[in-house]
Chains A and B, each alone.
Chain A
């Protein structure tokens, strides 16, 4: 079972992430009163990228993007998707460490390309990562303190018995703070400063073409999946829904139903994020840092203090 899960969960993450990219393009189009591309458009794009020639700018250029994709792969293995969780040890601490591997790989690759737009994009990417890591750490610290564990699986289990973290009044402030930094983690519109096609022509991926771009698209899809799944896991109770699955607990059907519920929750969070993405303009980098270090950090810190006083 564990070995099957080891293969299934990254595959599920890639396919779901690609569909999420398609859904996000479609919904953005509908908000603009357009018809929009078909849902499988990202798959078509990736097939095309793989069939195209790519230009390499040296060994680090190839290595960085592979490192970034590997980082996202490993990250998915730590996530409980419903009851599907290949790696149960390590928990949130390992997760925080591995979460930097994705941006780091892209930065390595973009830096090797020696394109000025890439360099600007890389510096923006690392600054943005620095900006959202502070509130993210506070949020995760509050969650770990409240539940008294660093294990992902235990956090989901406690929520299954005592209700979602988002609905308990101790953790509502960290939940709100996480939702406020979610666009920064996903890299969507108010925080699209890293890609910014109109300003710095796609930033770190300006020199990616062909297979490199295909790998980047897969990494982007998985990163999106991870950002959403983390929110669902620690605040929306993972793959549980008000004890709906209790009668069939322990069977294969419970695992499948848990995964489906988990994906539905992710879809809801994604669509709310897309509404923000479709109507807001882009921050400048210093505005983004100012925002991220002010409101989400403040809310998360107050939440952490409240959690510390209660426990």
Chain B
């Protein structure tokens, strides 16, 4: 931790604590999960930045979607995302959640994940190396500093839109809406 950040700590302890204590919940969809064990264990050691994996979405504030998202797993991703307490940050991992990647013409792969849940940042690559994960995390720190990592706020404001997109894909959803805002 930098000494010149102490004034920031006094100004907004909650925000700074969010930066330096990412409890991550991983969604092991595709090949991206292969890169996670080296980055959290001995070789790259993510714990020195305060990043540890947790087992339940209730403890987490960082959601890593590692790899392609099929239509079936999207349901589980949405439910996991909705169970995380706010503030929460989502990082999509690899090319597949951005534009489908190598599954660009697959019939059951989600091409653009941002339509269904808000994403705060993407780490491009097929696959990104653990170094890229760390660079992604430092970018996320900058975004949090500038209050631009506001995916959870967008989800709250535009929930009707996201819900409509989800329902367009799945038909009837078997869980009630998370927010009851009467906008739109």
Rounded to whole angstroms, the CA-CA distance of A29 and B58 in the bound complex is: 25
Q: Which of A45, A198, A208 contacts B58 (CB 8 A)?
A: A208
Are A52 and B86 within 8 A (Cβ)? yes
Known A-B contacts A32-B42, A37-B50, A197-B54; A48 and B61 likewise in contact (beta carbons under 8 Å): yes
Which residues 183-224 of A have a CB within 8 angstroms of B? 197-198, 201-202, 205-210, 213
A38 at the A/B interface (Cβ < 8 Å)?
Answer: yes
Contacts of B180 in A (CB 8 A): none
Contacts of B1 in A (CB 8 A): 38
Are A208 and B17 within 8 A (Cβ)? no
When each residue 8-40 of chain A gets 1 if its CB lies under 8 Å from chain B and 0 otherwise, what string results? 000000000000000001000100111111100
Contacts of A53 in B (CB 8 A): 85-86
Q: Which of A32, A52, A54 contacts B41 (CB 8 A)?
A: A32
Instruction: Tell me the interface secondary structure of chain A in the complex.
Output: loop
Known A-B contacts A206-B56, A206-B58; A44 and B47 likewise in contact (beta carbons under 8 Å): no
Are A48 and B55 within 8 A (Cβ)? no
Contacts of B54 in A (CB 8 A): 197, 202
Are A209 and B58 within 8 A (Cβ)? yes
A134 at the A/B interface (Cβ < 8 Å)?
Answer: no
CB distance from A112 to the nearest CB of B (A): 14
A206's nearest neighbour on chain B, judged by CB, is: B56
Are B55 and A52 within 8 A (Cβ)? no
Are A47 and B14 within 8 A (Cβ)? yes
Rounded to whole angstroms, the CA-CA distance of A51 and B50 in the bound complex is: 17
Contacts of A33 in B (CB 8 A): 42
A70 at the A/B interface (Cβ < 8 Å)?
Answer: no
Rounded to whole angstroms, the CA-CA distance of A53 and B49 in the bound complex is: 23
Contacts of B41 in A (CB 8 A): 32, 34
- Bin the interface of chain A by size: 20 to 34
Are A48 and B17 within 8 A (Cβ)? yes
Q: Which of B21, B45, B56 contacts A41 (CB 8 A)?
A: B21
Rounded to whole angstroms, the CA-CA distance of A32 and B105 in the bound complex is: 43
Are B50 and A55 within 8 A (Cβ)? no
Contacts of A207 in B (CB 8 A): 56, 58
Rounded to whole angstroms, the CA-CA distance of A41 and B49 in the bound complex is: 9
Contacts of A206 in B (CB 8 A): 55-56, 58
Are B47 and A201 within 8 A (Cβ)? no
B3 at the A/B interface (Cβ < 8 Å)?
Answer: no
Are B20 and A44 within 8 A (Cβ)? yes
When each residue 1-25 of chain B gets 1 if its CB lies under 8 Å from chain A and 0 otherwise, what string results? 1000000000001110110110100
Are A48 and B14 within 8 A (Cβ)? yes
CB distance from B82 to the nearest CB of A (A): 11
Contacts of B86 in A (CB 8 A): 52-53
Report the number of A-B residue pairs with Cβ-Cβ less than 8 Å: 86
CB distance from A220 to the nearest CB of B (A): 13
Rounded to whole angstroms, the CA-CA distance of A209 and B54 in the bound complex is: 12
Are A51 and B58 within 8 A (Cβ)? no
B20's nearest neighbour on chain A, judged by CB, is: A44
Which residues 19-70 of B have a CB within 8 angstroms of A? 20-21, 23, 41-42, 45, 47-50, 54-56, 58-59, 61
Contacts of B15 in A (CB 8 A): 51
B87 at the A/B interface (Cβ < 8 Å)?
Answer: yes
Rounded to whole angstroms, the CA-CA distance of A81 and B42 in the bound complex is: 38
CB distance from B46 to the nearest CB of A (A): 9
Are A213 and B58 within 8 A (Cβ)? yes
Central interface residue in B13, B15, B20, B87, by most chain A CB within 10 Å: B20
Contacts of A50 in B (CB 8 A): 14
Are B17 and A55 within 8 A (Cβ)? no
Rounded to whole angstroms, the CA-CA distance of A206 and B49 in the bound complex is: 24
Rounded to whole angstroms, the CA-CA distance of A32 and B40 in the bound complex is: 12
Known A-B contacts A48-B61, A54-B85, A206-B58; A34 and B47 likewise in contact (beta carbons under 8 Å): yes
Contacts of B59 in A (CB 8 A): 202, 205, 208-209, 213
9 shortest interchain CB distances as A-B pairs:
A51-B14, A209-B58, A201-B55, A47-B17, A48-B17, A197-B55, A34-B45, A209-B85, A48-B21
Residue pairs across A and B with Cβ atoms less than 8 A apart, 23 shown, are A29-B47, A29-B48, A32-B41, A34-B42, A34-B47, A36-B45, A37-B47, A37-B50, A38-B48, A38-B50, A45-B21, A47-B21, A48-B21, A48-B61, A50-B14, A51-B87, A52-B87, A117-B56, A201-B56, A208-B59, A209-B59, A209-B84, A210-B85
